[in-house]
């Protein structure tokens, strides 16, 4: 704002430069949707390692492929993932500690392993600081005996205060929540009751054994309050398509649309959930459409029925549920040991591993590099369900089906980089995965980086700022090698002036920005010409 001079002297005024840096968004945040042992339901949870997944969602589970896909993602270079846990009829486990009702923090049979106890070894000073009596406070200890995780909440109360037990558990506990109305008095201490019950169950509990009981009342189930028979938790049934996209899921932001509560994701993986090992074709189509709306990319697993080259070729003719430019399908499946089945070899969908390869390629080479080739190796994959030859690969590649091959020395690698618009007969400009993903990256980055333009005066000064800021972003990509061409003029352009924004546009409050770029396309076919030089001898 200009300075208004009122006195003789020197005035200092800072002039804004008009430079607003556009920062490129992340490129490989991968959303996984499926069934898990435990964890929040219909809520996108960000994790940064497979250990995070194990802590929050329980790790591998024989009844679901989600854990295996997440494990493959991190084994192959993935960094950040968003997990959406879905259930179909799962119920909460519950228990009562005297007059305090508790339930598991999330649905599932895992809650049946919860144990809880109360003691009155509280702090008198803490009670006074909250204006309470010492008799109002109690300590609550909860243990998951399956994992050994123990939570202790000291000096909590049923009285309205900062330490009210229901609020403390809701904000701090990963295991339990309060259910039902709070009683007027604190729950009775568990020690005396549990000691009596233990002694009745085993008269030999006395002396040193009783001392051990007092030291660790969780050493036996009978020494703590467990889940009541009437409140046993259940894992529910296998997922169905309606759990992802049924009526009300979009409006309620559940199922697939729970990702509406996630700010950004770049890749989508829906591990097979049907008993046969597939995903419903209807869901594939809807998930691809949702990815188009969110500027994300969907990694599709080939159906399990594609058990040879001919089946895959025929399957591509009938389709996988979508022909979206924001999706790609990979074949065949990965044959790996299953640690939950005595390390017996089992076929797993490749989408999680492919997402990891994409994340690794993005970080090492850039999103404009095709996530395929000898560097796109798959970790922990000893075999493939369908080994392919060069000629068989040559039949599938022109159809837009990306193959996974085992190459000498390199091992299993991703050997294809086409979207589902990559059929040669379609002649699509979005034929290649890196071209499409680079465009999505630029679109999302510019969408977020130009929000400041809204409500600015729509004239030449604004247009110049836009050209400066967007041009700087595109120039940075050019320097990193994202585009074709040896000069910026050959690689990209940014246009925002009176030609793109007419007076009629200005009257309607519109500013038009035209951005173009020359993408790098992968060299699928390397042709080497050899010629024999007859009758000539090099000196």
3-state secondary structure 476-509: HHHHCCCECCCCHHHHEEEECCCCCCCHHHHHCC
**What does the pLDDT read at residue 535?**
64
Structural domain boundaries in the chain: 1-22+460-539, 30-88+237-435, 94-231
**What does the pLDDT read at residue 17?**
74
**What does the pLDDT read at residue 526?**
86
At a CB cut-off of 8 Å and minimum separation 6, what does 520 contact?
368, 369, 434, 435, 481, 482, 483, 484
Q: What would the DSSP string read from start to end of 26-53?
A: PS--EEEEE--SSS-BS--EEESSHHHH
**What does the pLDDT read at residue 211?**
46
**What does the pLDDT read at residue 539?**
54
Order of strands, edge to edge, in the sheet holding 297-301? 45-47, 81-85, 30-34, 267-269, 297-301, 327-331, 401-407, 411-415
Cα(411)–Cα(407) distance, rounded to whole angstroms?
Answer: 5
Spell out, as residue ranges, where the chain has pLDDT lower than 50.
194-195, 197-214, 219-222
Q: Angle 190-201/208-215 helices, nearest 10 degrees?
A: 140
Question: What CATH architecture is 30-88+237-435?
Answer: 3-Layer(aba) Sandwich (3.40)
């Amino acid at each position: 704002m200009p300075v208004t001079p009122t006195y003789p002297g020197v005035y200092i005024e800072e002039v804004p430069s008009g430079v607003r840096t556009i920062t490129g968004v992340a490129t490989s945040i991968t959303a996984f949707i499926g069934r898990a042992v435990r964890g929040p339901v219909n809520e996108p949870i960000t994790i940064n390692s497979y250990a995070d997944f194990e802590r929050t969602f329980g790790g591998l589970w024989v009844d679901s492929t989600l854990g295996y896909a997440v494990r493959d993602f991190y084994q192959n270079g993935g960094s950040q993932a968003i997990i959406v846990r879905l259930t179909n009829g799962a119920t909460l486990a519950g228990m009562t500690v005297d007059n305090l009702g508790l339930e598991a923090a999330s649905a599932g049979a895992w809650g049946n392993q919860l144990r809880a106890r109360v003691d009155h070894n509280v702090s008198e000073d803490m009670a006074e600081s909250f204006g309470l009596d010492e008799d109002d406070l109690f300590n609550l200890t909860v243990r998951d005996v399956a994992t050994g995780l123990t939570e202790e909440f000291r000096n909590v109360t049923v009285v309205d205060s900062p330490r009210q037990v229901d609020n403390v558990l809701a904000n701090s506990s990963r295991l339990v929540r309060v259910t039902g109305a709070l009683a007027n008095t604190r729950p009775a201490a568990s020690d005396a009751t549990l000691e009596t019950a233990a002694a009745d169950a085993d008269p030999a509990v006395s002396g040193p054994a009783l001392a051990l009981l007092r030291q660790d009342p969780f050493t036996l189930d009978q020494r703590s309050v467990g889940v009541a028979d009437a409140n046993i938790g259940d894992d529910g049934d296998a997922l169905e398509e309606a759990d992802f996209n049924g009526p009300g899921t979009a409006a309620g932001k559940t199922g697939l649309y729970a990702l509406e509560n996630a700010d950004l994701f770049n890749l989508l993986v829906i591990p097979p959930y049907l008993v046969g090992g597939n995903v419903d074709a209807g869901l594939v189509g809807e998930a691809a459409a949702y990815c188009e709306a969110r500027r994300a990319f969907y990694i599709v697993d080939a159906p399990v029925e594609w058990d040879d080259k001919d089946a895959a070729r025929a399957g591509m003719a009938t389709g996988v549920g979508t022909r979206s430019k924001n999706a790609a399908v990979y074949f065949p499946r990965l044959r790996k040991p299953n640690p939950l089945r005595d390390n017996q070899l089992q076929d797993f969908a490749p989408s999680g591993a492919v997402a990891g390869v994409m994340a690794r390629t993005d970080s090492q080479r850039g999103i404009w590099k095709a996530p395929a080739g000898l560097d796109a190796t798959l970790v922990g994959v000893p075999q493939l369900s369908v080994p392919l030859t060069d000629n068989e690969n040559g039949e599938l590649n022109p159809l837009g089906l990306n193959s996974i091959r085992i190459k000498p020395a390199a091992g299993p690698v991703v050997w294809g980089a086409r979207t589902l618009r990559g059929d040669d007969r379609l002649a699509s400009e979005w034929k290649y995965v890196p071209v499409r993903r680079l465009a999505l990256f630029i679109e999302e980055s510019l969408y977020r980086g130009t929000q400041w333009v809204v409500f600015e005066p729509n004239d030449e000064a604004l247009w110049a700022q836009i050209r400066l800021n967007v041009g700087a972003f595109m120039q940075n990509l050019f320097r990193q090698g994202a585009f074709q061409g040896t000069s910026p003029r050959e690689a990209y352009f940014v246009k925002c002036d009176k030609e793109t924004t007419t007076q009629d546009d200005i009257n309607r409050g519109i500013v038009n920005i035209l951005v173009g770029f020359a993408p790098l396309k992968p060299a699928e076919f390397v042709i080497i010409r050899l010629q024999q030089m007859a009758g000539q001898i090099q000196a």
